Each structure stands twice: as structure tokens, then as C-alpha cells.
A and B are shown apart, each in its own frame.
Chain A
């Protein structure tokens, strides 16, 4: 088990290295604007630009620049260009909003998605299954940028049930925290509910044909015991791996759109603004700390998968 975890974490370092090199190259080899020029302002003299280049090291060779930037990432000394503030501090400040959003959404999509898939699979082919399939497909098909305005217009503007955006820390007012997050949560979760429902349903239908399910029936288990202990339990294995990817992907991707749409000042929003301004340090910071988090989550998912599947855990093949 320990060896498995170590192997997985070593792979993670390689992935992070590749991500950082790629990002660095995208921002330095394809510059939209000279960062020194940007820092110096519009009406700057060439001398000022040159001195800024000197000060920030923009005239060093690319490998040197990369190494110095990585040094700053590792020591948490990244500084953004304008305003000149500490990137790590900015990110840490926004983490609670982003985690509130993504963890809440993940809980909703897991609970509802798995319930949807389970009920569909148990009633496969029946009218309830067809109805739920329609719901799932609708959820998958509606884009986030459409859900959010509709939610905001109907539930916030017209009916006034929920606030229209912003973030209230949990420690400040738990009820306000909750009401401000309900719409963003569902906006993020709706797509995933549909996907998880479909994936679990099809996996369960496959599993139902396994010999061990027939064995479970033959030993006299009730239909519900057969479904939960044997069919559902085994069908959850691929869901765990999928969830590790999707949860990371949500934090790194989808949450950015949702945060922008609901003016939630989270890490995603910070990264979106920095990208728009072509500021490398915040983007590098968010991407690398984010990638670290995503890869860590994947490793956790893999370890969880290994824990749930003894064939992986014990490192033997399941002949």
C-alpha cells in the first residue's frame, strides 16, 4: 500500500514539471506584450523598461527565468506585476470561496447523480428509467453559461429567493454563505448529475450480467441486497476514478466560469482576471498550485480505488 502511494506521488512530480514548463513557454515564447513594458506603464522611457527588465530578470535566458520563477513558486515568493502583491497570499485568501463552491457542488452531484443512476438502473427499460434518462440528457446538454443567467433571472431577480451573487464566508454567517452558494452549486452540479447518472446506470447494467450477481441471487439475497452490495458496490469503482478527475477539473476549469458568472471572488475568478491582463505570475501560481491539487486529488482517488478494489491493492493480476 505504501509503495503504491509513493509510486503514485513520484508520477505526480513529473506531471507538475511538465505543466509548469508548458505554461512558462506559452507565456514567454508567445508574448502578447512585453511584461517589462507593461510594468513600466504607457508613457515610459526605454531606460525605465530596461531597468525593470534588469530588476525582474526578463533579460535572462529562458532556462534561467524558468528556474528563478520555479524558485519563487516553491518558496511562495511570486509577486504579480500590477498591483505588486504577493500571489500566494491572494490565492490563499480566495481558497475558501472556491472550495465552498466546488465541494458543495461535488456533494450535490455525487448524491443526486448516483441516486439518479441507481434508480434508473434498477428500473431499467421502464417508464421511470426513460423519464430519468430524459432528465439526465437535458442536464448534460444545457451549458453552464445558459443555466446561470436563467437561474439568476428567475430565482434571484424575478422571485427573489436567492441573492444574485457574491460570497459570504461561512465563518461570518453560515445561512448567508449557504443561500449565496445554492445557485452556483447547482449551476456547477447539473451537468455532472447527468453524467454520473448515465455512467453509473450503464456500469450497473453491465455488472448485473456478472456471474457473481447470479451467485448472489442463488444464495438467497434479497433483490435490494443484490443491488446494493454486489451491483452498486462494484459499479462504484470506476466512479471513484472519474470523480478524482472531475473534481480536479471543476476546480481548475468549470469553477472559473461559474465564479465569474456569480461574481464569486474565488481563485478561479482571480486566474481569469490575471489571464485577461497577461500576468504570468498569478497564472503560474494558480496553475501550479491548482495542478498540484488536481494531481494530489487524482492520487487520492487512485489510492481510494486501490483500497476499494483488492485486486489493485495487492498488486496481483486478477486472472
Chain B
């Protein structure tokens, strides 16, 4: 059986006045049933564009899309709008970042969730749809769902709105859930609740969840596997443990090194990755990270393939020319993982 969602060789470019911005530059991802795959990267790394392209919502003028997105083996790129419409909400559902603005302010929340049901099941009566929404609101932990379905978005707190958004995403029992920074706009305690909910629903309903985030704290909470993106490419991919305890790509070291951890002594100054991400207008050939990488050497002028380089971790792939033994040595900075200049 093919994986619920397979993305292969995906390239998304936007034509701008200054030239072609290659937002996604050859992404391969496989999302398996029952897992949470975290797609991690900083702003502009192409993670959201990857997700939106998967459901055909990157329809802006001047966009160039190549590659393949397969849902249960069926190709979605270039598919008919009618086919895509049937997929959205029904087979791939999305949860967006900002629950404040992601609901239409003039309709009742329950009606907006019911709208998703009615769009795909036109023979459902309004009363049936409402009953389903009440049940869904209950399932995502909204108290007093019978009454709350008639509330307007502004009458809900951010966390409750995000629960309603998740209820809407689950309404049609999709195979794939794409959550684009679902907790970024929420405060920390609410974040934890929403993550717990997403993790529980993923287990209970056997969903395949693609979780897009820039926050390693979120990743540690719910992810089974992690893919790290940089400048439109996946630079490292592995299980949660592989990424956290045996990271291979220097960019991942930098991300981990700049994360505050409660179980470690806090460094004097929180390290950061020097420099800024490269312009996507003119990516230099070779590794996109080499300008910021203190470990770069001659070979980095050539693009390393995303490949498994560790015999004992066959699913762990990265794009870095350094030898695994050299990586294990160089990423150690004062007893923790980090990206600092060698010899410091």
C-alpha cells in the first residue's frame, strides 16, 4: 500500500519583478499513516508553500510548480480543480496558524464547520450536520458544545478557536491532516493542550499528520519523524530521536543549539546561527547553508544529495558532505550540540 501522502521532487517558484523566487527546490517527503511528521525550518524555508501546494492552494499568478504530490497513489499536481476540491477538507484537511483570522467573523462557528460537511456531503440535512458538529466540538474538548456551536468566532478564545478549527479539519475523517504552525499564535499553556489534542487525535484516528513548525519544543512534544528544511530543500530527515540525539546536518545543530532546554544548564548567551538565509532569487550552487556554516570546506560548492550516511540508521538522511565521525566530533560544543566555529 502506498503512503497516504508522497511528495517527490517538488519545486515551486514564484515569478516576481526581480526574477524567479524558488521557494521550494526539490522536496521529497513521505507521510505515513498514523505518524506525525514535523516539517521544521525558519521563516521562508518553504515549509508552508510545500503544504499549500500539496492541496493545490498555491494558485497565484506566475507560480511554477514541478514534481509530484500523490495522495494514496493518486497524482494531485495538475489534477482537475473539481478533483482537488473533492480532496480538500475531505481527504486532506488543514489547520492554520492564526485561529483569530482563520474563521469568517460573520458566521457562527458551528455553521462554518457544518459548511465543510455540507460541501462534501450535500445530502446531509442541516440538523444532521449540526449534530455532527456538536459531537466534533465535544471530541476536541470544547465545553458545552450544544450551546457553543452557535457562538461567533470573536466569542471564543484563541485556544478554543483552534479547537474548533481542528474539529472542522476532522469533520470528514480525512486521511491526511496538515497543521501549519497550529500553536504559534497561542500562549504556552494553550499550546501544550492543542499539541496534546493533535497527538491524541492522530493516534485515535490513525491520521497521517504533517506538522509544520519552527519550534523544536513543539516537535519534541508530538513528532514521530522530523524533516528539517532550509532554503527550499530538506536538509535532514529522521526519527525524532535521530534528529535530537544524533543530528547530522550543521544547520540542525544550529537549530538545536539555539533552543532553550530546561534539562540542561543554560549557556551564558543563547547561541544563534550567524548570518542570514540566502536570497531565494539566486541560490548559489552547492549547499545553500555553506555561507553560514563554520565547517564548510571545498566540497560544499557542490550540492550534496539527501542520502542515508549512517549504516545503523537507515531512515536517517541528510545533505552534508562531512563524514559522520567528523560530524559527531564537531557538533559537540561545551558538552552540548551546537554550531560554533571550530577551535573555539
B-contact 0/1 string along A108-129, CB 8 Å cutoff = 0000000000000000010000
Interface size class of B (residues with CB under 8 A): 20 to 34
Bound-state CA distance A308–B104 (Å) is 12
Residues of B78-93 at the interface with A, using a CB-CB cut-off of 8 Å, are 81, 85-90, 93
Binary flags per residue of B94-108, CB closer than 8 Å to A gives 1, else 0: 101010111111100
CB of B104 within 8 A of CB of A217, answer no
For the complex, is A221 an interface residue (Cβ under 8 Å from B)?
Answer: yes
Contact call A218/B93, Cβ cutoff below 8 A? yes
Q: How far is the CB of A303 from chain B (nearest CB, A)?
A: 16
Taking a contact as CB atoms under 8 Å apart, the answer to whether A211 and B102 are in contact is yes
Contacts A220-B86, A220-B90, A222-B85 given; does A310 touch B154 at CB 8 Å: yes
A220 engages B101 (CB within 8 Å): no
| Chain B window 50-85, contacts with chain A (Cβ cutoff 8 Å), 1 for yes, 0 for no | 000001010001000000000000000000010001
| Interchain CB contact under 8 A, B105 and A319 | no
**The one of A219, A230, A316 that contacts B119, using a Cβ cutoff of 8 Å:** A219
Q: Which of the four size classes fits the interface of chain A?
A: 20 to 34
Contact between A310 and B152, CB atoms less than 8 A apart: yes
Residues on the A chain within 8 Å of B86, using CB: 220
Residues of chain B within 8 A (CB-CB) of A225 are 119
| B120, CB-defined interface residue at 8 Å | yes
Asked if B196 is at the interface (CB within 8 A of a chain A CB), the reply is: no
Contact B154 A309 (CB under 8 A): no
In the complex, whether A233 has a CB less than 8 A from a CB of chain B is yes
A311 to B191, CA, bound (A): 26
Nearest B residue to A221 by beta-carbon distance? Answer: B119
In the complex, the answer to whether B106 meets A309 with C-beta atoms within 8 Å is yes
Q: Tell me the minimal C-beta distance from B148 to chain A in angstroms.
A: 15
When the two chains form the complex, which single residue of A218, A222, A234, A316 contacts B154, counting CB atoms closer than 8 Å? A316
Counting CB contacts under 8 A, is B168 at the interface?
yes
Are A216 and B154 interface neighbours, CB within 8 A?
no
Q: Would you give the shortest CB distance from A217 to chain B, in whole angstroms?
A: 6
B152-183, CB < 8 A from A: 152, 154-155, 165, 168
Within 8 A of B (CB), among A33-67: none
- Contact present for B104 and A218 (CB under 8 Å): no
B92 → chain A closest CB, angstroms: 9
Tell me the bound Cα distance from A316 to B157 in angstroms.
13
B94: chain A residues within 8 A (beta carbon): 215, 218
Contact B89 A220 (CB under 8 A): yes
In the complex, are the beta carbons of A233 and B96 less than 8 A apart? Answer: no
Tell me if A214 and B89 are in contact (CB < 8 A): no
Whether the pair B104, A212 counts as a contact (CB closer than 8 A) is yes
A308 to B90, CA, bound (A): 30
Residue pairs across A and B with Cβ atoms less than 8 A apart, 5 shown, are A217-B57, A218-B57, A218-B94, A219-B116, A309-B105
Q: 10 smallest A-B Cβ distances: which pairs?
A: A220-B89, A219-B116, A219-B89, A211-B101, A220-B88, A212-B104, A218-B94, A310-B152, A211-B102, A318-B154
